[in-house]
Amino acid sequence: EKNNNFYHNVFAFSAPILLCLYYFFPVCKIEVPERLTVSHEALIKTGLADRCISVPVREATDADILLVHSEEYLEAVKKTPYMTLEDLQEFTLQYGDVYFHPNIYHCAKLAAGAALQLVDSVMTGKVRNGMALVRPPGHHSMRSAASGFCVFNNVAIAAQYAKQQYGVKRVLIVDWDVHHGQGVQYCFEDDPSVLYFSWHRYEHQKFWPQLKESDYNSVGKEKGAGFNINVPWNKVGMKNSDYLSVFCHILLPVAYEFSPDLVLVCAGFDSAIGDPEGEMCASPDIFAHLTHLLMNLAGGKLCAVLEGGYNLTSLPQSVCQTVQTLLGDPAPRPANLDGPCESALESLHCVRSAHRQYWSCLKHMTFIFTASSNNSLLLSPAELPTSDVTTKRIKLAEEEEDKLKKVEEEKNAEEEVWPEPPKRVAPAVRTALVLPNDVACPDGCKHVNTSQVCLLVLLQGCSDVSGFAQAVLGLLLPLGYEYDPSLVLLARTPDSGLCDSVWQQLTGLLQGIAQGHTLVLMQVRRRRRGGSISVYLLLHFWGGLDRWQVF
């Protein structure tokens, strides 16, 4: 955000990409230029664009592209601007579901270059985080092949670039697009320095790209075993609760153990409600919460790059929710959290079972993993699936049901309506500090009186950092989201055993709840001539912890 040292956000928008029109056979009806125009217009209309720093976009160089792609493939794509339409059609037939136009080589270089400019801005400290709105997308593109609207793999190139240019040791790539980013997986499946996480519509290998290696048991190869996490959605209609459950019980525990230096997001919004490709039911505001949870990793260094998203209503809404969270505004109160569905729980269990041998955080949480009787985000041992469960257990039983529902689902997708995301306002007062009468109040703080329903967290004797993290992610965070309080109250005593970095992570995570309204009660000790006394500090956080400069 402009004029603020703590929540800078970059907005990279490559306008020339709008020239990339696919007007020859086969006609592309969903990957259209309007995807960018409506998103950009929404950011302007909501005032978010004015709060961002706009970064000039450059073309990716040959050296940049060759970090991921083969020289033979690059040279072939270079020839496309000079091809006739007939030659382009023939060239296109080599690949799957991608359409070439005379401008696409230029546009693809701009898309990859925008991602690299974003990485440069974040890694040099010019901005804290940001989002690049680009076309064409990239996460399906492979070393020597275009695929799924993708020419160059923007995020994979950005990851390799960050490692080479800035010496980044560990990169987390989170792909929340509704399609599996097989290009990213293939690029890093034997690389332990990159943790790739993807959830995607799979339907037991019936949904594009229909790859066996998109299933939960593709965990990576050789030294990269365990660093590729696939969460297959075997049914459509996944909701906010399903997304949050996967974050709390799979992604976040592993991500904290991995401890990335940089987070890259394949930000595909075809996983939002109303999208004709995804057919999911997650509302746009869920992306505010997913973004917030990721911002607590890697010191806040996060780069989101647009991938899919083909509903011209839910796409701009989701983009705005993501950007507003990157700007540091409190996330909206979560909506429609009724617990994960049975299919999502089955995938959760299979993923955790496949990765348990690789991650210590997944070895000790079995006791909280299953569906509870009251459709809770919490997972308890009452109905734990048996060890021989696979995602194909109910495949045959579902096939007939899927056939009957297909026509109805397509009709419902066309008629899907949902409410506008709630308006989010950044409060003028971000932080207030309450001190004893004889202690001076720092500048910029003021007294706050409040009486609200709250979630109380008392921290004491938490010296086991690993166990504490598991309790927070597997119990406290899901409980907080499900309870949906108006206020979070945190109490920390001198013997809590928490180091400052863990404390900062905890407060950061919990500020995604209750619209960021968090009261912190801290007991500290100071000495007077008559001995030591206890002083209680009460703090009210309205926004990000990074704006608090008291300690």
- Residues involved in catalysis: 140
* Partners of residue 541 on adjacent β-strands: 431, 518
- CB-based contacts of 29, cutoff 8 Å, min separation 6: none
Say if strands 228-233 and 194-201 run parallel, antiparallel, or are unpaired: parallel
CA distance 208 to 474: 32
CA distance 520 to 434: 10
Is 48:323 a contact under the CB 8 Å cutoff?
yes
Helix (H, G, I), strand (E, B) or coil at 172: strand
- CB-based contacts of 436, cutoff 8 Å, min separation 6: 535, 536
Burial of 425 (0-12, 13-18, 19+ CB in 10 A): exposed
Both tokens assigned to 50:
């004015």
Q: How long, in residues, is the chain? A: 551
Both tokens assigned to 322:
């993501």
Rounded-to-5 percentages of helix, strand, coil across the chain? 40, 15, 45
Q: Is 375 left (phi over 0), alpha (psi -120 to 50) or beta?
A: left
Closest listed residue to residue 422, CA positions, set 337, 328, 279, 320: 320
Helix (H, G, I), strand (E, B) or coil at 197: strand
CA distances from 152 to 138, 144, 182, 415 (A): 5, 10, 13, 34
